[in-house]
């Protein structure tokens, strides 16, 4: 197996882990909430489908969650701007 | 009196909420003696937009859907896009409350002469409560997101610079965000935090940061 294959495999595994993380976080979304993303609004169930499908909306949710977790890890969220 | 142009399509729940919140800004603009061109609902068309751009608005507030290349009006009709050469925008400050226009369209417009641009380079998020579907002004979830985004225009209307408008909006988003994280807040508040963070970090400013408007 080439190093490229290993890298691709690792990347795919990471993407799957991020998807699972985003699904776990969205799965606790209160039922009275809807999220406006771009040109549509989505319920919890709809967001879970998009994340699972890995489409544009799903990727946006994963990216938002990832950015937030990175900011949490670096302490950026506690800065005062 | 200086001209203030605002577009407020309302063909779906998202644009309806943006339109109603932009209505708060119109009240302030009138109080501040601006001449308001309000392209609400079916008036938010390309034809109407261009006809009012020719009246040299000093401030333009676009609400609606979009992407990195275009901002749309009623029924997603493109109002402003990458190929446009609109020389009347040279004196204007433009705030785009739409998705991704800050990625490519905003910088391109300022390169073509727009005085200043404030917008968002990624998706613009906000939450709605199913308990306030038809009353977004009373929706506490919507308020957390749209009140600080309104701050850009309210600050400009009060005579402050584009940079101050951007900074005040940033400060208000950060304040709401940090409140959301407090453990005594509701679960719903804490749940919304990553999305307000995304709006805050994707808000951008281009062009003349000292640009101001006055009525």
Buried b (16+ CB within 10 A) or exposed e, B133-169: eeebeebebbbbbbbbbbbbbbbbbeeebbbbbbbbb
Q: Indicate the domain borders of chain A.
A: 3-78
The H helix count followed by the E strand count for chain A is 3, 2
Q: What is the pLDDT of residue A1?
A: 47
Answer whether A33 sits within 8 Å of B177, measured CB to CB: no
The number of residues in chain B equals 215
Looking at the complex, does the CB of residue B127 fall below 8 Å from at least one CB of chain A? yes
Find chain A residues with C-beta within 8 A of B123's C-beta: 37-38, 60
Across the range B191-213, mean pLDDT stands at 97
Residue B85 has pLDDT above 90, yes or no: no
Tell me the per-residue pLDDT of B139-186, one tens digit each, with 9 for 90 and over: 999 999 999 999 999 999 999 999 999 999 999 999 999 999 987 889
Q: At what angle do helices A44-53 and A3-26 cross, to 10 degrees?
A: 180
Tell me the per-residue pLDDT of B106-125, one tens digit each, with 9 for 90 and over: 999 999 999 999 999 999 99
In this structure, are residues B126 and B146 in contact, taking their beta carbons and an 8 Å threshold?
yes
Rounded alpha-carbon distances, angstroms, from residue B30 to B25, B61, B105, B121: 9, 14, 29, 30
Element (H, E) at B195: helix B187-202
Residue B18 has pLDDT above 90, yes or no: yes
d(CA B66, CA B53): 19
d(CA B91, CA B112): 12
Confidence class of residue A6 from pLDDT cuts 50, 70 and 90? low
Closest C-alpha to B202, from B159, B168, B176, B170: B170
Q: What is the pLDDT of residue A81?
A: 64
CA angle, corner A58, sides to B103 and B128, nearest 5? 85
Which of A33, A63, A78 has its CB closest to that of B129? A33
Residue A74 has pLDDT above 60, yes or no: yes
Calculate how close chain A gets to B94, using CA atoms only, in Å: 20
d(CA B90, CA B103): 20
Q: Please, what are the domains in chain B?
A: 3-207 (3.40.50.1460)
Residue B47 has pLDDT above 90, yes or no: yes
Tell me the per-residue pLDDT of A39-61, one tens digit each, with 9 for 90 and over: 899 999 999 999 999 999 999 99
Calculate how close chain A gets to B24, using CA atoms only, in Å: 20
If 0-12 CB within 10 Å is exposed, 13-18 middle and 19+ buried, where does residue A55 land? exposed
Is the complex ipTM more than 0.90? yes
């Amino acid at each position: 197996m080439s190093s490229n294959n290993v890298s691709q495999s690792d990347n795919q595994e990471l993407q799957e882990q991020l998807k699972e993380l985003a699904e776990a976080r969205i799965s606790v979304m209160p039922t009275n909430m809807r999220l406006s993303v771009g040109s549509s609004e989505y319920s919890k169930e709809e967001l879970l489908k998009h994340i699972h499908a890995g489409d544009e909306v799903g990727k946006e949710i994963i990216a938002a969650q990832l950015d937030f977790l990175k900011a949490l890890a670096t302490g950026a969220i506690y800065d005062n701007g | 009196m200086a001209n203030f142009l605002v577009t407020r399509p309302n063909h779906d729940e998202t644009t309806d909420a943006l339109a109603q919140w932009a209505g708060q800004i119109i009240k302030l603009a009138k109080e501040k003696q601006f001449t308001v061109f309000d392209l609400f609902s079916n008036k938010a068309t390309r034809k109407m937009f261009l006809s009012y751009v020719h009246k040299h608005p000093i401030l333009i507030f676009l609400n609606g859907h979009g992407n990195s290349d275009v901002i749309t009006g009623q029924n997603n009709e493109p109002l402003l896009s990458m190929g446009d050469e609109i020389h009347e925008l040279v004196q204007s400050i433009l705030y785009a409350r739409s998705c991704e226009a800050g990625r490519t369209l905003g910088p391109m417009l300022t390169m073509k002469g727009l005085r200043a641009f404030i917008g968002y380079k990624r998706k613009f998020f906000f939450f709605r409560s199913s308990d306030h579907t038809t009353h977004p002004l009373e929706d506490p979830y919507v308020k957390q997101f749209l009140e600080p985004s309104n701050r850009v225009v309210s600050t400009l209307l009060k005579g402050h610079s584009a940079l101050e408008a951007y900074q005040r909006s940033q400060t208000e988003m950060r304040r709401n965000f940090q409140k959301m994280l407090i453990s005594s807040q509701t679960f719903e508040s804490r749940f919304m935090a990553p999305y307000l963070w995304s709006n805050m970090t994707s808000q951008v400013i281009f062009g003349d940061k000292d640009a101001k408007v006055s009525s």
